[in-house]
Amino acid sequence: MNAPFSSATLDRQPYDVESIRKDFPILSKYVYGKPLVYLDNGASAQKPNAMLDAIRHAYADEYANVHRGLHFLSNAATQSFENARETVRRFLNAPTPEEIVFTRSATEAINLVSYGFEQEIAEGDEIVLTIMEHHSNLVPWHFLRERRGAKLVFVPVAEDGSVSLEDFAKAIGPRTKLVAVTHMSNVLGTVTPVKDICALARERNIPVLVDGSQGAVHLSVNVQEIGCDFYIFTGHKVYGPTGIGVLYGRRERLEQMRPFNGGGEMIVEVSEDKVTYNAPPHRFEAGTPPIVQAIGLAASLDYMLSIGRERIAAHEHELLTYATERLTAINSLRIYGNAPGKGAIISFDLEGIHSHDVAMVIDREGVAVRAGTHCAQPLLKRFGATSTCRASFGLYNTRAEVDSLAEALEKARRFFA
């Protein structure tokens, strides 16, 4: 569950990346006269025809609001929307679709859990995190620090980017109320031992939230096997649309949480002096939900499943290995994070050259990477970096694109020499 791939389960058929690339219209684009090399998948992935077609069909052929109408279109849209919830359940191997909550983003999903837990937090209670967390899994807990007096306890990261279970055991104490950890670092690619962390926390009846914004893309996820109480990911990184996130919540945890937003659909009855809330997941889906986004997300997940998640992960692992070799050979280039079993992300810098300058130069060669702090300032500070470039691979990337990245970086190095 924490390894990027399992060779024992790989399909014997060759991975036909060229056929896969034809499913993504934007990959035929040229930038500054050069073929687009899109290596910013960690920020947002490109979209397959299957998803684009599903969204068009939803708007053109069966659009209406859901759960409210008795007419044909509303029933059809409701069925497609709830089918999408079932697809997400299957993607995560959650026990029931009622444990899948649609939100507007992964960020909103984490904030939803933070808000739901706020009334359980007393001054001095602790929330355990790692220093690797994306700001979306840091700032909501800072809200509880500011409003409730909670204490944030950070598990350190080793020089190679790994985290140890022993450090988690030391961090979890009698005042720990929640553990919130990334499944896979968006900067280092480090895969966190979430199954072992959950087992450790469960011994003390401490809930665990796993931020799967990167993990859901690159790893096979089975929330029942992991044993987490919450698992969160976002649509646009799994080749789906923007405007939708997913919260898996263990049923008993969701039933204990108060609603995040108030409005239509999340209630059973409203009177002048009383409100009765709906059961999960609808309790947390106030107002018109992201209907078409959910349908598009389901199409993207089905697309990934049709290729095979283990096959995708093996392909990405091959690219990561090759890219590490190519980039390591470049003078004055430093790679951040080399933890065993890391996912398909490489963050790096060129000595003496700001990451923004590097990114702008290689963009002229058609190569798109991320440059900056990657919404992970505490982690970069731990490594003494102010910013880095990040190449993040997806199911459609190729070895030839890794070569293009390496050649563009050599040009950037010579340009600033």
Digit-coded pLDDT (tens) for 94-118: 999 999 999 999 999 999 999 999 9
> What integer pLDDT is reported at residue 68 of this predicted model?
83
Closest CA to 86 of 122, 78, 25: 78
pTM confidence score: 0.95
DSSP string for residues in 142-165: HHHHHHH--EEEEE---TTS---H
- pLDDT, tens digit, 9 for 90 and up, residues 56-70: 999 999 999 999 889
Q: Indicate whether 88 pLDDT > 50.
A: yes
Catalytic residue of the set 198, 228, 375, 389: 375
Mean predicted confidence (pLDDT) in 326-333: 98
* Portion of the chain with pLDDT greater than 70, in percent: 97
- pLDDT, tens digit, 9 for 90 and up, residues 258-282: 999 999 989 999 999 999 999 999 9
Q: Fold identical between 7-47+308-416 and 52-305?
A: no
> b/e per residue, 87-119, with b = 16+ CB within 10 A?
bbbebbebeebbbbbbbbbbbbbbbbbbbbbbe
Which positions ≥6 away from 274 have C-beta within 8 Å?
none
CATH dotted code for 52-305 = 3.40.640.10
> What integer pLDDT is reported at residue 174 of this predicted model?
97
Can you give the C-alpha Rg of the chain in angstroms? 22
Q: CB 303: neighbour CB atoms within 10 A?
A: 21
Residue 313 burial by CB count (10 A; 0-12/13-18/19+): exposed, middle or buried? buried
Mean pLDDT, rounded, of the chain: 96
Question: Do 55 and 295 form a contact (C-beta atoms < 8 A)?
Answer: yes
Q: Indicate whether 7 pLDDT > 60.
A: no
Q: How long, in residues, is the chain? A: 417
- pLDDT, tens digit, 9 for 90 and up, residues 126-141: 999 999 999 999 999 9
Closest CA to 290 of 218, 336, 228, 240: 240
Q: 4 falls in which pLDDT band (50, 70, 90)?
A: very low
Cα–Cα distance, 396 to 344 (Å, whole number):
12
- pLDDT, tens digit, 9 for 90 and up, residues 339-370: 999 999 999 999 999 999 999 999 999 999 99
Q: Return the domain boundaries, the chain.
A: 7-47+308-416, 52-305
> How many angstroms separate the Cα of 144 from the Cα of each of 9, 89, 123, 129, 133?
43, 30, 9, 13, 16
Closest CA to 164 of 203, 190, 133: 190
Q: Indicate whether 13 pLDDT > 90.
A: no
Q: Indicate whether 232 pLDDT > 80.
A: yes
> What integer pLDDT is reported at residue 1 of this predicted model?
43
Q: 121 falls in which pLDDT band (50, 70, 90)?
A: very high
Q: 417 falls in which pLDDT band (50, 70, 90)?
A: confident
CATH dotted code for 7-47+308-416 = 3.90.1150.10
Q: What is the dihedral of CA 256, 258, 263, 266, to 10 degrees?
A: 0
389 flagged as catalytic: no
Cα–Cα distance, 185 to 190 (Å, whole number):
5
